């Protein structure tokens, strides 16, 4: 799933973690992709090696627990840690439903954005040669539908966040 869909979850989580700044919640939902980019540059992950260190189920749990411990310590709150940990893991959960994401391209001639050939599952359970999973939602819907889905999620998440901010301001005034 793209960043828009992941950020939606971070926005929606704000009311459950008032102590944690929104930026940190958004970062938590996207940390696995940031790791994938970093590991890609470092040559640890890539097309040939796969993405076990950033998006493997096992390592995703490790990163989630690590983020949870860090946040609990940073914000001196058990709850903040649990929410941040769950947000990191929400990335894997959403990717599990949406992955594999076929390569997308935009044709200026037909003014159409579309996905290429469907791909095999790409989320490893462990490392190297372990089985790979992914329900492949984005294999079966169009690029336009996938984008609409993510923007829809983002609008819902923003609505939850906006309601929270509005209520908080109102409470602060009275
Ligand atoms: Zn991802």
Q: What is the DSSP letter of 15?
A: G
CA of 74 to the centre of ligand 1 (A): 25
CA of 92 to the centre of ligand 1 (A): 7
pLDDT at 174: 67
CA of 171 to the centre of ligand 1 (A): 37
Please say whether the beta carbons of 136 and 100 come within 8 A.
Answer: yes
Q: How far apart are CA 107 and CA 174, in angstroms?
A: 54
Q: How far apart are CA 23 and CA 36, in angstroms?
A: 20
Q: How far apart are CA 151 and CA 18, in angstroms?
A: 24
What digits encode the pLDDT tens for the residues 118-128? 989 999 999 97
Instruction: Give mean pLDDT, residues 97-123.
Output: 88
Q: Which two tokens stand for residue 52?
A: 């076990």
């Amino acid at each position: 799933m793209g960043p828009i869909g992941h950020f939606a979850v971070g926005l929606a989580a704000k009311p459950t973690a008032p102590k944690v700044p929104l930026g940190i919640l958004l970062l938590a939902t996207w940390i696995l992709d940031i790791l994938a980019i970093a590991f890609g540059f470092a040559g640890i992950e890539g097309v040939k090696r796969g993405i076990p260190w950033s998006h493997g189920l096992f390592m995703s749990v490790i990163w989630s627990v690590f983020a949870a411990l860090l946040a609990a310590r940073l914000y001196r709150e058990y709850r903040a840690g649990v929410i941040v940990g769950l947000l990191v893991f929400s990335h894997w959960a959403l990717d599990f439903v949406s992955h594999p994401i076929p390569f997308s391209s935009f044709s200026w001639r037909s003014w159409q954005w579309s996905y290429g050939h469907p791909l095999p599952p790409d989320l490893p359970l462990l490392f190297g040669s372990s089985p790979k999973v992914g329900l492949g939602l984005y294999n079966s819907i169009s690029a336009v539908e996938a984008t609409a889905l993510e923007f829809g999620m983002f609008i819902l998440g923003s609505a939850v966040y906006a309601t929270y901010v509005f209520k908080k301001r109102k409470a602060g005034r009275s």
